[in-house]
Amino acid sequence: MLSTTLFRNLWNFLRDSTPSRRRQRYGDMEFDWEHRVNTTSGTVGWRARLLGAFHSPYQPTEPGLFREMMASLPIAFDQFTFVDIGSGKGRTLLMASEYPFRRILGVELIAELHRAAEENIRAYKSATQRCLQIEAVCADACEFAFPDGPLVVYLFNPLPEAGMKRLIANLEKSLAENPRAVYVLYHNPLLEQLIAERTALKKVGGTEQYSIFSWSS
């Protein structure tokens, strides 16, 4: 089983390294051109891509879909902290700063992507930016100490199944120790059954592209 998983991950990495697939990764550049940042998947180095093959390949969120997801949240943004698990090069953090969150945090395990996120946070300029409290953290999300206060936790398939189980257990522990309002916004929810089956979080909305879970103290 382990050898099969290893072979599949290596095959996906090699396939993603072909010239045609490299060109495809540059198809997400519009946001970067507009804001003079580097969040595209096209410039991710081979080491980070290889690590991503065993965790989750870096793929930035499309801005139009992100706005749709934000519009679906029934919250007062200024009361919530936004936490992006697997924040990569930080595009979602930058897009979240267009909303008046109390604070924005990104958690990324791969050092190359984390450094890029820090550079993008410093470089980002937008006349409509409404939150300046943005921080990128290089850490294992499964051991991350979630901040106090109400949370919006953003997931874009940041972990394989085993890692997702650990992440969910970590979030549950945080909620048990400090009950508070939490929304989990899960983009491309391939493993959403893990949330539904293992937690008190209840699905309250979504589409085929994302799911929203809620837990209230």
Helix (H, G, I), strand (E, B) or coil at 80: coil
Supply the range of the domain harboring residue 199: 63-215
Residue 12 makes CB contacts below 8 A (sequence gap 6+) with 53, 57
- Say if residue 72 is in the same domain as residue 18: no
Tokens 């410093």: give the residue.
122
Q: Are residues 114 and 151 in the same domain?
A: yes
Provide the 10 A C-beta neighbour count for residue 211.
Answer: 21
For residues 26 and 78, give the distance between their C-alpha atoms in angstroms, rounded to a whole number.
Answer: 34
Query: Looking at the structure, do residues 102 and 207 belong to the same domain, yes or no?
Result: yes
Domain identity same for 99 and 20? no
- Confidence check: pLDDT of 30 > 80: yes
pLDDT tens per residue across span 62-71: 999 999 999 9
For the whole model, what pTM was predicted? 0.83
Mean pLDDT (the chain) is: 84
Domains contained in the chain, number: 2
pLDDT in tens, 95-123: 999 999 999 999 999 898 999 999 999 99
Both 29 and 117 in one domain: the answer is no
Q: Domain containing 136 — which CATH number?
A: 3.40.50.150
Q: Are residues 96 and 173 in the same domain?
A: yes
Q: Are residues 124 and 144 in the same domain?
A: yes
